[in-house]
Structure 1
Amino acid sequence: MPQQHTHHSLIHVLLLWTTILSIIQIVSIVVFFKVERCSQCQNCSAVAREHKMPFHENNNTSSPPEFLLAKGKMANFESKGVHPNKTIEWKEDDSSSGLISSGYVLNILKDGYYFLSLRVTLECNGKKSTGQELDQISVKNLDKDILQGWFDAQTCSTGVLSKVERLAARSTLMVTITSNKSTNDSGSLTHLSVIYMDNP
């Protein structure tokens, strides 16, 4: 009998001890995560304060702040027809961006990264191609193909072909096709768009 009473007492002590340890663990975990969250918030606010500092001092408050990131420019070109050597002539549709000169040979004026987006549509005059001959298109940089594609037999269009390329100033771009058909020079169907980012 006394042994059974002792046995029950030990069980009560162990239960009490387990309960106390569980409470201590829960409190420790809560405190740990609260302290961790506070330290992250302080780091975030410190980082935010660093990012709020101006990258470039500008006394003229009317102009937007400039960032230390590379500046971008855009240019859009429309087709002016195909040269007898199968090269497409391009003309910038707005005032000159100073990135690429217009013509059959497009001269690169600035070093940097160029995102080229090209779509060319041919005049099929309602005739669908048999699909046996596939007209090709290529964009060459100094006689090296940097972008190639084919005209779809049903739509007479390349769809959108695009690529990012690092180009040096004084290099050239030429867009050539293998087809004898003329281009549909509507700006919505045939166009070359360029997004330029300076070398960082």
Structure 2
Amino acid sequence: MPASAQQALVCILLLWTAVLAVIQAAWLVVHFSAAGRRCPEPAGAASHEPVPFRSNLSSPREAPPQWGEGGMLTYAAVGGGQTIKWLGRHQNPELMSESGDSLAVMKDGYYFLGLQVTLSSCAEADRQINVSLKRGGRILLRGRIHPKTCSTGLLGKAEVLSAGGEALEVIVSPPSGNVDYTEALTHLDVIYMFKP
């Protein structure tokens, strides 16, 4: 088949694919839009009055937490040897508070933890340097400094954490004085969601 005939067939197929994609997108919009669709009322159904909200709370100012209630916290490394010290950039002391080289959990909930540690040069990266996020004796995240990138990359995990108890610590083993404290390269991020 000549090249010009192949090009014509490819153009026709591309046009046909585009037409099908537009038709499918339009069908999805019409099908799932609530504007044109209403559920019919059953025959003989009475009109419904709205039911007033009643709360079991003693104070009208207190509202129960909702599923979507949450928060975001960001910490930058500011120093440390084996245990990295963190300084809150976006913080909420009601969720976590800085306590020396560690972070104390102040509220029960679901926590998504994100950690990255980067060295300022790869001179030490050829030896095995481990980084772990611990709470007490329990390791929540563990990674290793990669020799080519001088970084752990982004380590992340969701955890259910309760208030009180042991604090969160980031341990570099063996200790390195070569940690890059640029916030974009070494940081701890926490996303909190309310646990009912």
* Same fold flag (TM > 0.5): yes
Q: Tell me what 1:195 maps to.
A: 191
Which consecutive aligned stretches of 4+ in structure 1 deviate over 4 angstroms post-superposition?
53-57
Alignment of 1:72-111 (within 5 A): 72-83=70-81, 86-94=82-90, 96-102=92-98, 103-111=100-108
Say if 2:67 and 2:195, in contact at 8 Å, map to a contact too: no
Deviations 1:166-195 (A, max 9, x none): 111013111001142331111100100100
Deviations 1:120-170 (A, max 9, x none): 11122x63743xx21101111121111111011012110000000011101
Q: Tell me what 2:170 maps to.
A: 175
**Root-mean-square deviation (CA), in Å?**
3.2
Comparing 179-188 and 108-117, the one that deviates more: 179-188
Count of aligned positions: 143
Alignment of 1:24-173 (within 5 A): 42=39, 68-83=66-81, 86-94=82-90, 96-102=92-98, 103-124=100-121, 127=123, 129-130=125-126, 133-171=127-165, 172-173=167-168
Looking at structure 2, the residues matched to 185 and 105 of structure 1 have their Cα atoms a distance apart, in angstroms, of 16
AA aligned opposite 2:182: S
Say if 1:82 and 1:182, in contact at 8 Å, map to a contact too: no
Query: How far is 1:41 from its partner?
Result: 5.9
Q: Identify the structure with the greater strand proportion.
A: 2
Looking at structure 2, the residues matched to 118 and 55 of structure 1 have their Cα atoms a distance apart, in angstroms, of 42
Given the two structures, how large is their TM-score scaled by the length of structure 1?
0.62
| Structure 2 CA distance for partners of 1:99 and 1:128, relative to 1, 3 Å | same
AA aligned opposite 1:137: V
Q: Identify the structure with the greater helix proportion.
A: 1
Looking at structure 1, the residues matched to 158 and 80 of structure 2 have their Cα atoms a distance apart, in angstroms, of 25
Identity rate, percent = 35
| Gapped regions of structure 2 (runs ≥ 5) | 1-36, 41-50, 56-63
Given the two structures, how large is their TM-score scaled by the length of structure 2?
0.63
Say if 1:75 and 1:97, in contact at 8 Å, map to a contact too: no
Looking at structure 2, the residues matched to 134 and 141 of structure 1 have their Cα atoms a distance apart, in angstroms, of 22
Say if 1:128 and 1:154, in contact at 8 Å, map to a contact too: no
Looking at structure 2, the residues matched to 54 and 74 of structure 1 have their Cα atoms a distance apart, in angstroms, of 33
| Structure 2 CA distance for partners of 1:123 and 1:41, relative to 1, 3 Å | same
Deviations 1:48-70 (A, max 9, x none): xxxxx99899xxxxxxxx99424
Looking at structure 1, the residues matched to 150 and 95 of structure 2 have their Cα atoms a distance apart, in angstroms, of 30
AA aligned opposite 1:163: K
Say if 2:111 and 2:160, in contact at 8 Å, map to a contact too: yes
| Gapped regions of structure 1 (runs ≥ 5) | 1-39, 44-52, 58-65
